[in-house]
Amino acid sequence: MALTPPVARTLHDVGLAAWFGGSLMGVTGLNGALDAVRDPAERERLAGAGWGGWGRIGTAATAAHLLGGAGLLARDAVRRREPGVAAAAATRTALTGAALAASAWAGALGRRAATPEGPDAALRRRIRVAEWAVPVVTGAAVVAGAPRRS
């Protein structure tokens, strides 16, 4: 089934907005609140519950973005020879790939941290970097897509 341009654009943009906003809220709001929890076991329990809840929504947002993006790429296939179109599409595709990798990396590290004693300091640092990488790269994808709408 081919997506109509408005449906593809909506899935693409709303999916990316949710992916960006949810990950940014997680690293600022959720992690900020978790910093106030003194008991390491309780902090890890709450982190798992919070990020676990986001995981399902984040996956749906990512899937919507990818589905919409595929529809837009298919629609724009005839425009690839126009100046700048192929380069812009390659940039946005690379940013999406980087965001997928960062999301997978953050999830894998989070699963490794799900132990009764919690993560050690080195793993905690890697988790923070991975969690921040997602909104940084998805934010860059939002910016890269802005010229399409101007």
What pLDDT does residue 65 have?
Answer: 97
- For residues 65 and 114, is the Cβ–Cβ distance under 8 A? no
Burial 77-88 (b: 16+ CB within 10 A, else e): eeeeeeeeeeee
Whole-prediction pTM: 0.89
pLDDT of 34-52, one tens digit each?
Answer: 999 999 888 888 988 999 8
What pLDDT does residue 150 have?
Answer: 47
Residue 75 has pLDDT above 90, yes or no: no
pLDDT of 20-33, one tens digit each?
Answer: 999 999 999 999 99
Residue 1 has pLDDT above 60, yes or no: no
pLDDT mean across residues, the chain: 90
pLDDT of 112-136, one tens digit each?
Answer: 888 777 788 899 899 999 999 999 9
